Structure 1
Amino acid sequence: MKAVILAGGFGTRLSEETVSRPKPMIEIGGKPILWHIMNIYGVYGINEFIIAAGYKAEVIKEYFLDFYAINNDITVDLNTGNTTIHNNGNQPKWKIHIVDTGLYTQTGGRLKRLKGWLEKEETFLFTYGDGVADIDINTLLKFHKAHNKLVTVTGVHTPERFGRIAFEGDQITSFHEKPEHAEGWINGGYCVLNSKVFDYIENDETIWERSPMERLASEGQLFGYRHSGFWSCMDTLKEKNFLEELWNSGKAPWKVW
């Protein structure tokens, strides 16, 4: 199974950090938050990733192009220019597809641009490149298979500036993007999607969290997996510093690997 990670936005709320790199490449504990997210999936045997890049896509490409050399010992023969990389055996067995989905493409448009990278009728994982959680991916997948609908969204609790989802049992009956005043469950990413969702996305301007998810909810195709454990995004410098403090304390809840 593949995991799709959105990593193409401008990250304007973190402009202090995103002048020279995309938000998913901002480091927590010396590693990009993208690396942390991939490790959350990796511990459950998810080893193939599709990164939907956009803003400063070259930074993501350079990181993974150099990953093998930087994370192993190397020998450089300055006389011949030959380089030998000594595999220490501790590298993740990941296959990573980095796809440039456009500079100004919206979230739904980025997802639809990946259609050719995913098989027809395929189920895949999908999340945002700025959120970490101590989520059990196996339990999430079992939940998705049990209801046999097109989409599962992981619901989490957090402050009111995020979009709200309303439940009836496990079915999501409505989805509202960022109301001014509300409390309850929100979309925390870590979704499971069937490739039929591409039919709900019109073009590059489509915002996934609006008309596609609202339509899926109205048709009874959107279910929510309630995650009551740790979850945090990294939208602001305050949130970035919070995650850094947790990591440095040695008690980062999302470190499940």
Structure 2
Amino acid sequence: MQLPEKPLDVIIFCGGRGTRLSEKTKEVPKPLVELGQYPILWHIMKLYSHFDCNRFILTLGYKGEMITNYFLYQHPLMQNFSVTLAEPRMPVPKDDWELCFVQTGLESRTARRLLLCRDHITSGRFMVTYGDGVADIDITKLLERHQHLREKHGIIATITVSRPYSKYGIVRMEGDIVESFSEKPQMSEYINVGFMVLEPEIFDYIRPDEDVMFEDTLQDVANDGKLGFYIHPGFWHAMDTYKDYADLNTMWKENPRWKIWTD
């Protein structure tokens, strides 16, 4: 099995409004909501960078200029540095990332945002994920799975799936009596958590005159038998609501399971 020698480009969806986290997204775009001292977008990029994927294409939309400003002006200052006041210069960030900022529209849906990134992809095969979820996923194993499925079945896309925990306790009844009560058990169904690997053929499924969610595109790919999956058995958590925000920030202080990088 031959994996690509060149690290793949990573597209991160950054343009949505994040209305379910409006306590924070009224002020900043969702990918810039803080997780510890850095935005959640930084955490996602650190994960990919751990596997030598350092070229990121960011699909800008709602408050996109704040994402640009963060990486150009704020991020370099979040470290110790010295400066000569007579000739002030911005410090060089520790993270050696190449960033491509793509203006994809304020109201565009994710399939259109992806299509608008097409001409900016340099790696052929590429990866895509959402700008609001962190995981301790092994990107190398994900790529190996995609390559295996492509060779065996000719798939053009692999999504990462995981079994989330229910937000509610599950009650089972027998007659008039409660038989069992499970506090927020792990669900039996799998969900798409992002961290996708795509071939360039994916763009054959996106029509320029349509504006749909990328999940609709993936359904079309699945209908043709060309959508694979990788089961992630470890940690995954999205920042979808204020409770998610609070929970993730508590985890960052106590046990950040998604922090697989060392610096």
TM range (shorter): 0.7 to 0.9
Counterpart check, 1:129 vs 2:113: no
Q: Output the TM-score relative to the length of structure 1.
A: 0.84
Q: For residues 67-123 of structure 1, what are the alpha-carbon distances to aligned partners after superposition, in whole Å with 9 as ceiling and x for unaligned?
A: 23443514252xx5x204555xx711110111111000001010001011125x810
1:217 to 181, 201, 222: 222
| Alpha-carbon distance change, 86 to 26 in structure 1, aligned in 2, over 3 angstroms | closer
- Residue 169 of structure 1 is matched in structure 2 by none
Counterpart check, 1:75 vs 2:83: yes
| Alpha-carbon distance change, 126 to 76 in structure 1, aligned in 2, over 3 angstroms | same
- Residue 5 of structure 2 is matched in structure 1 by none
Counterpart check, 1:256 vs 2:260: yes
Q: For residues 161-210 of structure 1, what are the alpha-carbon distances to aligned partners after superposition, in whole Å with 9 as ceiling and x for unaligned?
A: 9xxxxxxxxxxxxxxxxxxxx95000010000011111111245121112
CA distance in 2, matches of 1:5, 1:187: 15
Unaligned runs of 5+ in 2: 1-7, 168-186
Aligned residues: 229
Counterpart check, 1:155 vs 2:161: yes
Unaligned runs of 5+ in 1: 162-181
Q: Output the TM-score relative to the length of structure 2.
A: 0.83
- Please state which structure has a larger fraction of its residues in strand: 1
Report the 3-state secondary structure (helix = DSSP H, G, I; strand = E; otherwise coil) of the residue aligned with 2:214.
Answer: coil
Q: Which amino acid aligns with 1:153?
A: I
- Residue 228 of structure 1 is matched in structure 2 by 233
CA distance in 2, matches of 1:243, 1:85: 31
Identity %: 38
CA distance in 2, matches of 1:225, 1:72: 40
Q: CA RMSD in A?
A: 1.8
| Alpha-carbon distance change, 226 to 86 in structure 1, aligned in 2, over 3 angstroms | closer
Of stretches 33-42 and 68-77 in structure 1, the one that deviates more from structure 2 is 68-77
CA distance in 2, matches of 1:4, 1:72: 30
CA distance in 2, matches of 1:217, 1:86: 47
**Does the aligned pair in 2 maintain the 1:160–1:183 contact within 8 Å?**
no
**Does the aligned pair in 1 maintain the 2:76–2:91 contact within 8 Å?**
no
Larger Rg: 2
CA distance in 1, matches of 2:89, 2:121: 35
Matches within 5 A, 1:10-49: 10-49=17-56
CA distance in 2, matches of 1:86, 1:124: 30
Report the 3-state secondary structure (helix = DSSP H, G, I; strand = E; otherwise coil) of the residue aligned with 2:215.
Answer: coil
CA distance in 1, matches of 2:91, 2:130: 33
